[in-house]
């Protein structure tokens, strides 16, 4: 469980993040600029840098909003009869939370289908609106680790490589409607080492 829940989700999230950034090159550039300004090219980005990488954090939240790796979270069972949003839920009923739909609800988010990391510039805000890791006692125990891993991989990739699409066309964002939100067309991109990458990795 730890291996499946802990690796595939973060890897998928990075694939969606780079797809979203390639379709929004101004976001990609702003992310690279932030890494260059806050970390530079003399050393490899590392965990202590995270607190200075505000825009990278915004990209990560915005990507988890539009592309939650577990769009229906994980099935829950009502341990006793209860009422939810005006519906009677009998004891023992399976409850699925459609986080994907909540994350794209225009009553909850402004311009919900646009990829706009800036909407998180003042932090995550009302945490009940953004729930890619679920909420409460059965929420994902790996949330903190996942955010760190994604931050580290995304930050170091932006620091070391320039990314472009293969053929100049928009990345296809079609997704599967399944337990995990998988890209139907796996992401293919071009990456070119930046001038100082060899020294950074030496």
- 8 Å CB contact between 190 and 165: yes
Q: Which residue lies nearer to ligand HEM by CB, 173 or 200?
A: 173
Q: Minimum CB separation from ligand HEM for residue 59, in Å?
A: 13
Closer residue to ligand HEM in complex, CB, 76/119: 76
- Closer by beta carbon to ligand HEM, 179 or else 199: 179
Q: Are 119 and 66 in contact (CB under 8 A)?
A: no
CA 6 from chain centre, in angstroms, equals 14
**CB 27: neighbour CB atoms within 10 A?**
22
Distance of closest approach, residue 11 Cβ to ligand HEM, in angstroms: 9
Q: Which two tokens stand for residue 69?
A: 């790796």
Report whether 191 belongs to an annotated binding site: no
Chain contacts with ligand HEM (rule: CB under 6 A): 1-2, 5-6, 9-10, 13, 69-70, 73-74, 76, 132-134, 138-142, 145-146
**Alpha-carbon distance 146 to 101, whole Å?**
22
| Least distance between ligand HEM and beta carbon 154 (Å) | 12
Bin 123: left if φ > 0, else alpha if -120 < ψ < 50, else beta.
left
How far out from the chain centre does Cα 10 lie? 8
CA–CA separation, 181 and 177 (whole Å): 7
Q: Least distance (Å) from ligand HEM to the CB of residue 43?
A: 26
Which of 69/155 has CB closer to ligand HEM? 69
Binding positions: 140
Binding positions for heme: 140
């Amino acid at each position: 469980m730890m291996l499946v829940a802990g690796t595939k989700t973060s890897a998928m999230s990075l694939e969606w993040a780079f797809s979203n950034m390639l379709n929004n090159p101004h976001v990609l550039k702003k992310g690279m600029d932030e890494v260059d300004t806050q970390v530079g090219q003399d050393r490899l980005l590392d965990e202590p840098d995270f607190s200075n990488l505000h825009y990278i954090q915004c990209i990560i939240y915005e990507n988890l909003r539009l592309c939650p790796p577990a769009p229906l979270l994980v099935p829950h069972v009502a341990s006793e009869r209860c009422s939810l949003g005006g519906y009677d839920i009998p004891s023992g009923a399976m409850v699925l939370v459609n986080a994907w739909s909540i994350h794209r609800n225009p009553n909850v988010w402004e311009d919900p289908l646009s990829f706009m990391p800036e909407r998180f510039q003042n932090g995550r805000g009302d945490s009940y609106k953004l729930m890619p890791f679920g909420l409460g006692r059965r929420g994902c125990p790996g949330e903190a680790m996942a955010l760190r891993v994604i931050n580290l991989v995304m930050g170091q990739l932006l620091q070391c490589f320039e990314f472009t699409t293969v053929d100049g066309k928009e990345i296809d964002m079609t997704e599967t409607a399944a337990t995990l939100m998988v890209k139907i067309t796996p992401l293919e991109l071009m990456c070119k080492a930046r001038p100082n990458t060899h020294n950074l990795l030496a």
